[in-house]
Amino acid sequence: MVTCSKCVLPGSFPGIQFDDAGVCNYCRNIPIPDSSEKQAHREKFEALLNSKRSTSSFDVLLAYSGGKDSTYTLYLLAREYNLKVLALVFDNGFVSDQAMANIRHMTGTLGAACMVFRPPFDLMKKVFGLAAKHDIYSPKTLDRASSICTTCIGMVKAMVLKTALSYHIPLVAFGWSPGQAPISSAIMQTNPRLQKFSHRSVRDPLIGLAGDELKPYFLSDMDLEVDQSLWPVNIHPLAFMEYDEDAIVEKISSFGWVKPMDTDPNSTNCLLNALANHLHRKRFNFHPYAWEIAGIVRSGSMDRNQGIAKVNQEEDRNMVNYAARLLDIDPGF
Ligand SMILES: [Zn+2]
């Protein structure tokens, strides 16, 4: 299959077009932040921290998976910026044992409070089963993540915001890599109006299919009435910090983080990822991480050949089968 000569996006990627040099329209049209833009965001970020440090609650609520990117974000917030961090872990039933050990160790070592939120497994099984079998989301949503990942992240984002609102925490942080989320959204004030709008993409279709038992895991109409002054600012610092996978792993390893050996190559925490990737690739004929990896390659933080190897590598059958068995899904090899 044709692949963009600059990034890793394949000819099967939705809306892709190549010019005479084999460069895709995304490479041509998406601006890459330069060092001065990153510096400007860093300054804005630091000014924000100084104005938002809380006197009565945690400074920041971090969506924490135990994976390398959110662990590095935890390090930045707790050590480099000396913030009081509450790390919220969403246990979807597929957090690897090593990731859970990393969560316990790293939050302790870096001095962060940690809260593990674990829905009953039967509920997660139902929700992931629905995500695997039904067309829940718009095709656009699925350009950038699998249906299963979109479901899980939707629940994570909702629980993180709900918790920040109820604990009056002024900042909410995510460890999105520079390929996952653009620098333009790296510092973003949340508000009820935007939240209502975003409900249409994940919350409403999912509750429509799964039923009311999912309602407690999302924001309610009452949550949306919380005073605007209490709505947190969303931040994802890796968009404007130096991002180099090897350097990140080296830094967090120096604090005792251990790379899990039981996850697939694109995840350092989740045992469901291989099945989610497998189902997505079978259906759409491109890797659900292609968009993210293309962004990292474009930004210069990853070698193109390394990125291509990542998106072309077959999923580990044992891992796909492991998750499929737990969810009672036919992986359809
Ligand atoms: Zn490209």
* 20 falls within a domain: no
250 contact partners, CB below 8 Å, separation of at least 6: none
Distance 4 CA to ligand 1 centre (A): 5
Ligand 1 center from residue 25 Cα (angstroms): 7
Rounded Cα distance, 91 and 68, in Å? 16
How many angstroms is it from 307 CA to the middle of ligand 1? 12
Phi, psi of 266 (to 5 degrees): -95, 5
Domain that holds residue 39: 33-273
**Ligand 1 midpoint to CA 302 (Å):** 14
pLDDT at 35: 92
Cα of 298 from ligand 1 centre, angstroms: 8
* pLDDT tens digit at each of 333 positions of the chain: 899 999 999 999 999 999 999 999 999 999 888 999 999 999 999 999 999 998 889 999 999 999 999 999 999 999 999 999 999 999 999 999 999 999 999 999 999 999 999 999 999 999 999 999 988 998 888 999 999 999 999 999 999 999 999 999 999 999 999 888 899 999 999 999 999 988 999 999 999 999 999 999 999 999 999 999 999 999 999 999 989 999 999 999 999 999 998 777 777 789 999 999 999 999 999 999 999 999 999 989 899 999 999 999 999 999 999 999 999 999 988
CB-based contact 74:239 (threshold 8 Å) = no
For position 1, what pLDDT does the model report? 84
As residues whose CB is below 5 A from the ion ligand 1, the structure lists 4, 6-7, 9, 24, 27
pLDDT, position 267 = 79
Q: Residue 251: which CATH number?
A: 3.40.50.620
157 in a domain, yes or no? yes
The label of the residue with tokens 């709505």 reads 231
Block residue for tokens 């409070």? 113
Nearest to 178 by CA among 301, 34, 82, 13: 301
Is the pTM for the entire model greater than 0.75? yes
End-to-end Cα spacing for the chain: 21
CA of 24 to the centre of ligand 1 (A): 4
CB atoms within 10 A of CB 262: 13
Tell me, yes or no, whether 310 lies in a domain: no
State phi, psi for 316 to the nearest 5 degrees. Answer: -70, 120
pLDDT attached to residue 179: 87
Number of H helices, E strands in the chain: 14, 6
Whether 269 maps to a domain, the answer reads yes
- From the list 207, 215, 113, the residue with the least C-alpha distance to 162 is 215
Residue 111 has a pLDDT of 98
C-alpha 175 to ligand 1 mean position (Å): 24
Q: What is the pLDDT of residue 147?
A: 95
The whole-angstrom separation of Cα 103 and Cα 107 is 6
Tally the residues of the chain: 333
The answer to whether residue 292 is domain-embedded is no
Our count of domains for the chain comes to 1
In this structure, the strands spanning 187-189 and 233-235 are: antiparallel
Is 9 a domain residue?
A: no
Inter-axis angle of helices 203-210 and 147-167, to 10 degrees?
Answer: 110
10 Å Cβ neighbour count for 259?
14
The H or E element containing residue 7 is none
Would you say residue 242 lies in a domain? yes
Planar angle of CA 87, 91, 97, nearest 5 degrees: 95
Distance between Cα 217 and ligand 1 center (Å): 37
* pLDDT recorded at residue 285: 95
CA of 32 to the centre of ligand 1 (A): 12
